[in-house]
Chain A
Amino acid sequence: MIRRRLWYPRTFFALALLFLTAAPAFPAGFSIFAQGAKASGMGLAFTAIADDPSAIFYNPAGLGFQKHFSVQAGGSLLSKTEGEFEGANPFPGTGFGVEEQRKTSFLLPTLYAVVPLTSNVNFGLGINAPYGLGFRWDNAEEFSGRFIAQNAVIRSTDLNPVLSVQVAPSFAFAVGADYRLSSVMLERNRPAINPFTQSVVDVAHIKLDSELQDNHGWGWNAGILWKPMNAFSLGASYRSKIEVDYEGTGKFTQRPTGNPAFDAAVAAQLPQGKEDVAVSIEFPASANIGAAINLPADFTVSVEADWTEWSSFDELFIDFVNPALPDLDRFTAWDDSWAYRGGLQKKFGSLAVRAGYYFDESPQPLADVGPILADADRNAYTFGIGYDTDRWGVDISDIYIKFKHRDTRGQVNTDQFFGRYSEAANLIAMSFRLSF
């Protein structure tokens, strides 16, 4: 009994680690909607199509129309191609010049399996990472926003079992459970006034970190897909909010200033060892509704609107259990956001060519834009190709994401950190499907 208890989490954690991803914040907020290569080619307008195993993520009701045991493995390579900040007065001023984010690429794997149980009931299992954030600044020890954030990371891995039922030839619904493992990390420096120079110096580095296996939350998802006519389908899906209460540690590392008397005074006040930290993040609920139509000459057009309840992310509260240490309580006040997506597919027999566009609205108010995360409205342009047979399929796609500039100059800003953020990103997705 005890062995079995241990076996399950260990295996899953090992598996989850493979999927553990800290992605740049690409789609709005820190959600990542690119969870399948076919959908990624069509502007992510896939809720009303959902005709491959990635339906587990986009609309699990789509499984109701899939009649084979299928496994689909894939991955996305997310690359930040531009990430700049140009400071303005009064802080950080123009003296720092243009500062850069680290342009790392992240691999984001997905794994979906569809298992027909009866002729109209399917079981599906998805493992993916629909939420992630990696906002890391170059030259972290000199970056002008280093006292707010040098490196902010949210990792997540979802285990998403679903059950779909095709209740009529034209209608299916599905429900699923969503188990999310997550970890957060925040690195920043701590400033102090050096009494000898009456100027700001870095006296410590703080790393707040948590372990994946320690932090999890439960939620659920559901979907419906209705095909009233052969050429027309309507889909809707919903994913509940998931609250994860993290327990982690804060580690303080002193940064010597070169003044022994001051360093000694700092050392006397700096917490030694690791301090317990508690953080809570409420991942938002989301709802998607879409329509798709098959046109003559093997054209398919798909559109959808996605709503994310980002207003649930209204506060970032980092609680040091030790009452002597000040908590970090940040009023984020995010808004619910919408995304509008459209995609087109043209088939040439087994070959498909896809294109799409979407507009993703940022949930982050300008006041909250800062070194932890500078999110922005963005326009994205997608392109993809696929080759599909009954037994196997392969899809490749690319999304180019151009962020609108985010400009905090002259605005009310929580961090009192003024300037202009410019970002662009690219995502290449690929997936392979085998059906039996």
Chain B
Amino acid sequence: MKRMLFRAAALAGALATLLPPTLHAQTTFHKYVALGDSLTAGVEGGCLVTRHQQRSYPKLVADALGITDFQQPLFSERAVSGPAGVCLGAVVAGGTITVGAVSQQGVPTNATLARPYDNLGIPGANAADLVDLRVANPSGNTANRFAAAVLRNFPSGPFEGRNAVEEANLLSPDLVSVWVGPNDVLGAALAGAAIDGVTLTPAAAFETKFSQVLTGLSASGRTLVVLNVPEVTSIAFTTTIPRVVVNPATRQPVLVGGNPVPLLGPRTTDTCSTPPCPLPAGTLVTLGASALLAQGIGIPTALGGTGQPLPDGSFTPPATLNQGVLLYPDEVALIRLRTTEINSRIATVAAANGATVIDAHALFDDIVAHGYEAGGGIVITTSFLTGGLFSADGFHASNIGYAIVAKEIVQRLNETSGTDFNLPDLAHTLFEPDVPVITATGVVDPTSGPFGFSLPMWKDLVSTAVAGDLDFVFPSPGKRAKGFFDR
């Protein structure tokens, strides 16, 4: 009998070596860490608050994977009391639906966690910041300010000297996602100025840093997932306001002689040698133009405007970026080219490090063209405020947008890792109202224009993503939490 059992066991062992490799594939993940920028952090409507962090795509992925201890650098949400860190949302002003501040970022509520966070998304970070930002300057740029809260590597902070990659490795994850690169091109779209080396990261420089990120993260037995860069010239921020004069009452183009009338910009064209000149076809007008248009700027005098041009962004060396609201066709082309180049580098570096690439660029292009069939007859589009994909800032995703990202990640994991995780419940996100959790009434900006953004608000908005002035309270550096590294 014993011999028979032994034989059976030997046979089973021999058979096991013949089994196809998929049967040995991973069936679960124990630790998931997400690296990235504001999209990974869960920024919506220009702010980072718990309401949205709990619906960030890394959190939804962790939920789908059954990971219960997924920690994030949570911020509370409070009533609007100042201009910075405001959460934008739809409000009614002057009888029309527009965008205004509905709440404001509060204070960190998970700052004493004795280990790095699982969501290491740093608003404002580009690829270089994930490896170079080792000591965050709490009064520096957006990435620095947020790194101080997300990485807690500020001077004398608990993780001083460690970059995002190293913090991720401290957690020994078996699944890591990286979505970095949007901020290497997005600044150009937000500033209305595509300037190589200023608002656009050169492709070679990106590759160097991105390679350091993935090399630093790749480890035996670890699954690496990388998302590439969506087309930032197709986001609601750049596609909502048409290039031509629109009647605010009807929201239809004003026709003169049967033709729409282009808005005015500072550049000369083939048919106009003295600025201001009509915007050539293919020019994108950003949401930042709304308040200017409300003042008549950019609108010909014949149609009741001031005849002044809308501003184009520019750069004054050594370090002054002049914000604009226009992307001329050559700027659009340059941003697109750079995005293509960066995505090509992402593919190369990912392949070299055994990472799976999720083509966020193709997914977003498809949503731009056809919408996203979220299920049950609900189609999500990129339309500003009413499309569902974008939050009220026009460039960060909404809860729905992030849920779509999470679904794509889990679906891809199932395909490539042989796992069978339940996909996120999209319906839960689709039907759940996303409104501030504070009870105080939001302050409506009285200068809001017909297209939504007031100039001050737009400046706040852009500063959030480009060179911000976010206000949050740090945990006292003196009280270093004991734990993770002291064991």
| A interface residue numbers (CB < 8 A to B) | 87, 89-96, 144-148, 188, 191-200, 261-262, 265, 371, 415-418
Contacts and interface: CB of A to CB of B under 8 A. Distances in A.
Contact of A415 (B96, B376, B386): B376
Contact of B97 (A87, A90, A144, A261): A261
Most B CB contacts (10 A, CB to CB) among A145, A148, A195, A197 go to A195
A197 B434 contact: yes
A199 B434 contact: yes
A194 B386 CA distance: 7
A127 B388 CA distance: 51
Nearest to A259: B92
A416 B90 CA distance: 29
A198 B375 contact: no
A416 B375 contact: yes
A91 B426 contact: yes
Given A195-B90, A197-B433, A92 B386 contact: no
A91 B386 contact: no
Contact of A200 (B89, B90, B385, B431): B431
A89 B378 contact: no
A415 B377 CA distance: 6
Interface stretch (B215-223, B277-285, B337-345, B417-425): B417-425
B428 to A, nearest CB: 6
A93 B425 CA distance: 5
B382 to A, nearest CB: 12
| B375, B388, B434, most chain A CB atoms within 10 A | B375
Contact of A148 (B377, B387, B432): B377
B399 interface: yes
Top 5 A-B residue pairs of the complex, sorted by shortest distance between their CB atoms: A91-B375, A147-B377, A93-B425, A197-B433, A195-B90
20 contacts: A90-B407, A90-B423, A90-B426, A90-B427, A91-B376, A92-B375, A96-B427, A147-B376, A148-B376, A194-B433, A195-B97, A196-B91, A198-B392, A198-B398, A198-B399, A198-B434, A200-B431, A371-B376, A416-B375, A417-B375
Nearest to A148: B377
Tell me whether chain A's interface is mostly helix, strand or loop, or mixed: loop
A191 B427 contact: no
A144 B376 contact: yes
A245 B73 CA distance: 61
Given A193-B386, A261-B92, A261-B97, A95 B428 contact: yes
A95 B378 CA distance: 17
B interface majority secondary structure: mixed
B427 A91 contact: yes
Contact of B376 (A145, A192, A199, A262): A145
A150 B35 CA distance: 43
Interface residues on B, range: 35 or more
B97 A418 contact: no
A93 B385 contact: no
A416 B97 contact: no
Nearest to B102: A196
B407 A147 contact: no
Contact of A92 (B91, B96, B97, B376): B376
Nearest to B384: A195
Contacts of A90: 375, 407, 423-427
Given A89-B423, A91-B427, A196 B377 contact: no
Interface in B398-423: 398-400, 407, 422-423
Contact of B425 (A94, A200, A265, A371): A94
Contacts of A371: 376
B363 interface: no
Contacts of A92: 375-376, 427
Contacts of A195: 90, 97, 385-386
A195 B375 CA distance: 19
Contacts of B196: none
Given A90-B375, A96-B427, 15 more contacts: A91-B425, A92-B375, A92-B427, A93-B428, A193-B380, A193-B400, A198-B392, A198-B434, A199-B431, A199-B432, A199-B434, A200-B431, A261-B96, A261-B97, A416-B376
B410 to A, nearest CB: 9
Contacts of B425: 89-91, 93-95
Contacts of A148: 376-377
Nearest to A91: B375
Contacts of B374: 91, 416
B366 to A, nearest CB: 14
Nearest to B387: A193
Contacts of A91: 374-376, 378, 425-427, 430
A144 B377 CA distance: 10
Contacts of A144: 376, 427
Contact of A199 (B97, B392, B423, B430): B430
A76 B431 CA distance: 42
B94 to A, nearest CB: 11
Nearest to B414: A410
